[in-house]
Structures are given as structure tokens and as C-alpha cells.
Amino acid sequence: MATVQVSEAEKVYILHGIRDDLRVDGRGCEDYRHMEIETDVVSNTDGSAKVTLGDTAVLVGVKADIGKPRPMVPNEGYVEFFVDCSANATPEFEGRGGEELGTELSNTLYKVFNNKHSVDLKSLCISAGEHCWVLYVDVLLLQCDGNLYDAISVAIKAALFNTKIPRVHISADEEGGKEIELSDDPYDCVRLNVENVPCIVTLCKVGHRHVVDATLQEKACSVASLIISVTHKGTITCTRKVGGGSLDPESIFEMTEAGKRVGKALHAPLMKLLQQEESLGKARQKVGFLG
Amino acid sequence: MAADMRLPTIQKPVSLTFSAFDRKDLVVPGDVITSDTGFMRGHGTYVDEEKLTASVAGEVQRVDKLICVKPLKTRFNGEVGDVVVGRITEVQQKRWKVETNSRLDSVLLLSSVNLPGGELRRRSAEDELTMREYLQEGDLISAEVQSVFSDGALSLHTRSLKYGKLGQGVLVQLSPSLIKRQKTHFHNLTCGASMILGNNGFVWLYPTPEQLEEEAGGFYTSLEPVSVSDREVISRLRNCLLALAAHKVLLFDTSVLYCYESSVHHQVKDILKPEVMGEIVMLTQQKLLDQEG
């Protein structure tokens, strides 16, 4: 992760501020920074989203391809994640520098989505044992100012909401084999149900309290963080501890409860915003990467 | 507690209508400034087929026969006498390397700092070994540029009681071209906090110390908790600085103070929302124009 150097006195200042629930930029311990979400920014994907959280910017593209289902689960499709840390974000990511962080992020995403309910994999099946839809979710880090997991999870949820999978018809051809036909109409597509897609909340332990959406300076003052992925009902799908420091079992419980509360509160405004964006339709002014 | 999510909008820069007299000559790299060969070329320009062309994006400045282009966003080009706020990156044999947002790391020699107790003596081998006790990697200092090396690196000194290691506070990193050159860069603002506007774009906000600094040139850093009211003032100032920088307003003590006053009826964390930022900056520019006129 990109790191900043902080002096001892600055650390003490940040620590005392968090203890008094007044962070450096005036937020409370459980407030997020200003978030901007836009979908359908990359034209050659089936679904895409760009999320800006403070100074962190993340771009997600979803491509749907037809593939062979996994042997253990022949009537389900699957999702593949790949995270690319671009050198745009920080010079540390140049060449292979960002690979370690990228693999760590994608492994966590696999864990978060590794359950029956997040994405309805049965709806991705075309013909059992032979063909299914594979969703390739590619994440690109454009700018890094702390709190990557949260931004990535919001962007994935928005991109999956925006994904349009073409409708397929299976017909038997002359030799008795199956032939797959894609519908000619570009607007004839299937949308995914993203109700149960979880959002990730990162809680950093600073002093005796925890903060949500930590900036790089606050991250430099914390020794341990807890990553929790929460669905809109408040169910936790994955918990992970990162960082070299130790966490007290009581504080883990406290942080988990706070994470559930904050995570649950993220879903409703996000879905409302996505539906609002969808309803604007052609009238929406696309901002993209300029402006 | 709910996250503030919204759709992005194209940001329009806030600028009150200026008279044609105020219109600046802005160029981008490759723009031809003049075809007249009688001019001397200064910084930011080059000659391309007898035409004077700009090599950076900025404002054209002309002094008699000399034409130069002052860039809008650049690394800090230090001059003797500039006040800078920097972060120690390395501790070397008889000097510290300081990061000041310039092309090369600046140098702070051991002989250019004040020793504890204010004594004046020759630096010994023991001083060299205890350098890390005074300034470590990551520490922030305020210093003045003493000289410029031939390769462009700055040599700093903290030979006055007002310079030295910085204690508790907040650092805001902005572009050096936004800082106005003034007589003094150390301000005790009336709103209840103090500010150091480094020429290199680093602005240091800290709580106003109660008594005048008698403690040997900033060696002792107080780690006492800062009161919540002071914290709020500092956070508000930090957000105001970011708002002004986002709209490219020149920063000096008056503009920062006007921005602070225009922002009092908003909550501190709301200042970073785009529409609130635009409103506050508009009010500030209005006040500045009124003050000039």
C-alpha cells in the first residue's frame, strides 16, 4: 500500500483527535468521505463503474464470457476477480511493485464472494455441465489515498448492477449437438440481481478507538485493521484482520458490531443512487474522466 | 453517519468576472509567444525555428526584453530567504536530507541548526552521533533557504528561534505557485490557530502556543492533548485551504481568514463537498475584491 511518513507529534495529534471523535478533516469516527459513483464509463465492457472516495479512485469493468462450468458445480457459473494496481496511483506500483497488493486484494474478494447468496450463480448457467457465463471482474486502482477495500466493493456492486448479459437461446443443430445463439437485439439482455452483493468496511484500530474510512495518515498511526464484508441485511460474509499489531477480543467484537452497522447503512443510499442514475437514461450527462 | 454518495458533475471553476485589464496571458507547451527575435528567452521558453515557444503551461511574464513563462503547477524552485516546511527523509553523516517538494531533496547541515541550550560551539563527533536524537526520519521542520547548490538543491538553516522542529498540528500539501510571497510567513490567525505558509506549498497549521517560545529554538515538542475547540479551528482551516487550492485562489493570511469566516455556518466535514466549496470560495473572492476596491 502507498505509505506516507508521519512524525511522532503528528501521530499524537491524530490519536488524541480520534479519541475525541474529531478527525483531522472534521469527520466523526464512523463517517465516510465524499463519494462519487458513475457507471457505464468503459464502452467495451458489459458493465463498468468508477468510484471516487475522497482522493481514492477505482475503476471496475465486468466482462461476461461463455465458458465451461466447474466440475463440482455443473449448473452454476462463476466469477473471476483480478486487481491491477496501476503506477498512476503511486510510483511504488511501477513494474511488479503493485503485484503483491493486487493479489492480496483479489484473494480477499474471492473470500468475500465465496458463498451461495452474494451473486446468483445458478442464473449464470446456460446448459448444465457444458456452458455457463463467466463474469470477469477487473479492478483498476487509479489513485490511492487509503481505504481501498471499501471503494473496490462499492465499485464492484455498481458495476455488477450495470452489467448487461446478452440473452442466449439454445437450439439443437443438425448433428444433434447444441448451438448457442446470441440475441441480435443489443438491448435484449439479462440484468443481475445485486441485492445481496456485500460491501466491505475497513475499520482501523487507532489508539483505543476504531475509525472507518481511514486516510493514509491515519493508517500510519494504526497497527491493525479489521476488514468486514456486510450484506444489506447485516449478514457478515467474510472477516479478515490485516496489519502487524494485535487486537483484543473485546475490541474485535466492538469493531464487528460497528462494521455491521456502518456496512448495513451503505447499501440503501447506494442502491437508490444506482436506480436514480438508471432512471436518468439517455438524459444523463456523462462525466467520465474529465472534469 | 450515512455515507454521502452522489453522481459526479463537471466542476466549473469559480471565478468572478474580471475586467479585460486583468486578463492574463496563459500559454500551453508548444504555444508560440512571439516571432520577434529581439527578445531574450527566460525560464520556461525555448527557440524553435526563430520563434519563441513556451515549454511549460503558465503565465507569460515580460520584463523589458526578457520573456519568461511562470508555470501554474510546478515543483518548488527555491530562492535564498524563502521559508519552507519540510520533512526529514534521511539522516546522513553531517547533515539531514529534507523533502521540500522540489526536484532534489534539500540539505540541512548539522552546522546550520541550533544546539540545545543555544550554545555556540564547534560541532564535535559526539554531536554527529546524536543527530538522530534531535531530528529523525519523518520529523517536520520549518527552515529558511540559506543558499542554492550548483545542481539546484537547497541548503537550509534553522538558525533562528522561530525555526526548528514542529510539534503537534496538521500539514497540508499544496502547489507552490498558490502561495503568495509576503514579508512574513508565520501567522497567528485571529480565529484561534497559527499557520506557517511555506513557500514550497507545505502549510503547517498548529494550535497557538500560550506563552512565547522561550524553549531553545523548538527542541521540546509538547505532547499534551490539544483542546477540542482548537482542533475544530484547525480542521476547519485545513478544509478551507483545500477548498481554496481546488479553485486556484492565491493563499495568504487574509484570503485564508476570509475563507474561514465564510465557512462558519457550515459543518467542518461539509466544507469538502463540491457545492459548499464553490459557495465558500465565491464569497471569499467577493470579499477580496471588495477589500481591494
Query: Is the Cβ–Cβ distance between A155 and A58 less than 8 Å?
Result: yes
Alpha-carbon gap: A51 to the closest alpha carbon of chain B (Å): 9
Q: Which of B11, B171, B223 sits opposite A12 (nearest CB)?
A: B223
Q: Extract the C-alpha cell encoding A178.
A: 447444441
Q: What is the pLDDT of residue A145?
A: 87
- With an 8 Å Cβ cutoff, are B4 and A25 in contact? no
Q: Which long-range contacts (CB under 8 A, 24 or more apart) does A2-5 make?
A: A2/A89, A2/A90, A2/A92, A2/A93, A2/A144, A2/A216, A3/A216, A3/A219, A3/A220, A4/A216, A4/A217, A4/A220, A5/A220, A5/B87, A5/B89, A5/B137, A5/B138
Alpha-carbon gap: A278 to the closest alpha carbon of chain B (Å): 11
**Chain B nearest-CA residue for A50:** B8
Burial of B238 from C-beta contacts in 10 A (0-12 / 13-18 / 19+): buried
Which among A219, A108, A272 is positioned nearest to B4, based on CA atoms? A272
Average pLDDT score over residue span A193-207: 92
A264: helix, strand or coil = helix
Which residues in chain B are closer than 8 Å to A52, comparing Cβ atoms?
8
**Chain A nearest-CA residue for B138:** A7
Which residues in chain A are closer than 8 Å to B170, comparing Cβ atoms?
10, 13, 24
Average pLDDT score over residue span A131-136: 92
B 234-253: CB under 8 A from A: 235-236, 238-239
Alpha-carbon gap: A176 to the closest alpha carbon of chain B (Å): 51
- With an 8 Å Cβ cutoff, are B8 and A22 in contact? no
Output the pTM of the full model. Answer: 0.89
Q: What is the pLDDT of residue B20?
A: 43
Which residues in chain B are closer than 8 Å to A155, comparing Cβ atoms?
none
**Chain B nearest-CA residue for A11:** B168
Distance CA B237, CA B206 (A): 10
Task: Give chain B's residues under pLDDT 50.
Answer: 19-21, 215-217
**Which ipTM value was assigned to this complex?**
0.88
Q: What is the pLDDT of residue A128?
A: 83
Q: What is the pLDDT of residue A90?
A: 85
Distance CA A2, CA A205 (A): 18
A195: left (phi over 0), alpha (psi -120 to 50) or beta: alpha
Q: Which of A265, A277, A291 sits opposite B7 (nearest CB)?
A: A277
- Answer whether B272 touches A (CB < 8 Å): yes
Distance CA A266, CA A245 (A): 28
Alpha-carbon gap: B47 to the closest alpha carbon of chain A (Å): 32
Which among A191, A113, A97 is positioned nearest to A152, based on CA atoms? A113
Q: Is the pLDDT of residue A122 over 60?
A: yes
* Percentage of residues in chain A having pLDDT higher than 70: 98
Summarize pLDDT for B140-186 with one digit per residue, the tens. 999 999 999 999 999 999 988 889 899 999 999 999 999 998 999 99
More confident residue, A179 or B90: B90
- With an 8 Å Cβ cutoff, are A26 and B169 in contact? no
* From A211-220, A278-287, B36-45, B77-86, the region with the lowest mean pLDDT: A278-287
Alpha-carbon gap: A213 to the closest alpha carbon of chain B (Å): 10
Alpha-carbon gap: A65 to the closest alpha carbon of chain B (Å): 29
**Sign of the dihedral through C-alpha B37, B39, B40, B42:** negative
B 65-104: CB under 8 A from A: 87, 89
- Answer whether B209 touches A (CB < 8 Å): no
Q: What is the pLDDT of residue B21?
A: 45
Which residues in chain B are closer than 8 Å to A6, comparing Cβ atoms?
138
- Answer whether B194 touches A (CB < 8 Å): no
Distance CA B40, CA B168 (A): 48
Summarize pLDDT for A138-170 with one digit per residue, the tens. 999 999 888 999 999 999 999 999 999 988 888
B 8-67: CB under 8 A from A: 8-11
Q: What is the pLDDT of residue B251?
A: 93
- With an 8 Å Cβ cutoff, are A8 and B166 in contact? no
Average pLDDT score over residue span A216-241: 92
Q: What is the pLDDT of residue A16?
A: 93
Distance, first Cα to last Cα, chain A = 27
Average pLDDT score over residue span A118-142: 89
Distance CA B261, CA B281 (A): 11
The DSSP line for B57-112 is: SEEEEEETTEEEEEESS------TT-EEEEEEEEE-SSEEEEE-SSSS-EEEEGGG
Q: Extract the C-alpha cell encoding A82.
A: 483480478
- With an 8 Å Cβ cutoff, are B223 and A291 in contact? no
* From A221-235, A267-281, B208-222, the region with the lowest mean pLDDT: B208-222
Which residues in chain B are closer than 8 Å to A17, comparing Cβ atoms?
226, 231
Average pLDDT score over residue span A209-228: 92
Distance CA A52, CA A36 (A): 5
